[in-house]
Amino acid sequence: MLLLGLTGSIATGKSTVSNILRSPPYNLPIVDADVLARQVVEPGTPGYAAIVKNFGPTTPDLLLPASDPLCKGREDGPNGKGRPLNRPALGRQVFGDGEEQFKRRKVLNGIVHPEVRKALWRALFYYYIMGYWAVVLDIPLLFESGWEALCGAVLVVAVTDPKIQMQRLLARDAFLTPEDAQNRVHSQGDVREKARRAEARGKGWGAVVWNDGDREELGREVAKKMKEIGDTCPGWWAKICWLCPPVGLMSAGWCYWKSRGMQNRWEEQVKNEKAKL
């Protein structure tokens, strides 16, 4: 089973590409890290409890008020059990370039990421048992989290102009101020750098979908890149790997070795580039 890593940055169109891939003619299952990240911090989960414990004392509005429609019919205990997280308030604590925001973001990631990884592995096992030839791993921080090494192919959704990204984000999330939007964009790194990294993996192993136009143009870009990926890892090979698990294990091991090598070469390249500055 091919693990196709889908990444990008906020407001570049990654969710749109994800919806295209789950629809005909692709019909691929999507494991969305953002969705899982929301599920693992729902009230009553260990992730939720850890966030309330760590951020509650410094964020008075961490939880939605009891009058909020999302709190209707939920239990409201002394520790806030049952009241969903106020995501904009939490976002203001962790997004930004300041040292304090960086520390808080690290704490939050330390809570959420392990829970998301567990959920990801459960989902991948299910789709493998169901016999899918490929699964899309929709992970915004694919490179930063280390999941790149497990992916047989990586697809980055990017825009050439940062202004497009900002305009789309402000249009989508009206509650954000321009400063909030800028902080969120910066927190996920430069998407053009991610595009460079994907292209460095080579044809069939990494591709970039440039999303500066309309949805029709985006669909053509996705079709072109998916053909390149499909030529490298065809469905018939995935079926053989599924029918013969030892072959699948050897194929997965080889794929991991190749991807890990690409990851190491990129990191060495970046290191050398910084040394020349």
Residue ranges and CATH numbers for the domains of the chain are 1-29+132-277 (3.40.50.300), 34-131 (no CATH)
- The torsion defined by the Cα of 92, 97, 98 and 104, in degrees rounded to 10, comes to 50
pLDDT by residue for the chain (277 residues), tens digit each? 899 999 998 889 999 999 999 999 999 999 998 899 889 998 889 999 999 999 988 888 888 877 777 776 555 544 446 788 888 888 888 887 788 888 888 899 899 989 988 999 999 999 999 989 999 999 888 998 888 999 999 999 999 988 888 888 888 888 888 888 888 887 777 899 999 999 999 988 999 999 998 899 999 999 999 999 988 888 888 889 888 989 988 988 999 999 999 999 999 998 888 887 6
From CA 108, how far away is CA 112, in angstroms rounded?
Answer: 6
pLDDT, residue 219, reads 95
pLDDT, residue 81, reads 63
Predicted structure pTM score: 0.81
pLDDT, residue 79, reads 45
pLDDT, residue 77, reads 44
From CA 17, how far away is CA 157, in angstroms rounded?
Answer: 8
pLDDT, residue 273, reads 86
Q: Could you tell me how far CA 251 lies from the centroid of its own chain?
A: 25
Beta strands in the chain (DSSP E): 2-7, 30-32, 134-138, 153-158, 206-210
From CA 99, how far away is CA 76, in angstroms rounded?
Answer: 34
pLDDT, residue 78, reads 41
pLDDT, residue 72, reads 66
> Distance of CA 131 to CAs 7, 50, 134, 179, 221, Å?
24, 36, 9, 45, 27
CB of 179 within 8 A of CB of 28? no
The alpha helices in 40-173, defined as continuous H runs, are 46-55, 87-94, 99-129, 142-145, 162-172
The bridge status of strand 134-138 relative to strand 153-158 is: unpaired
pLDDT, residue 75, reads 54
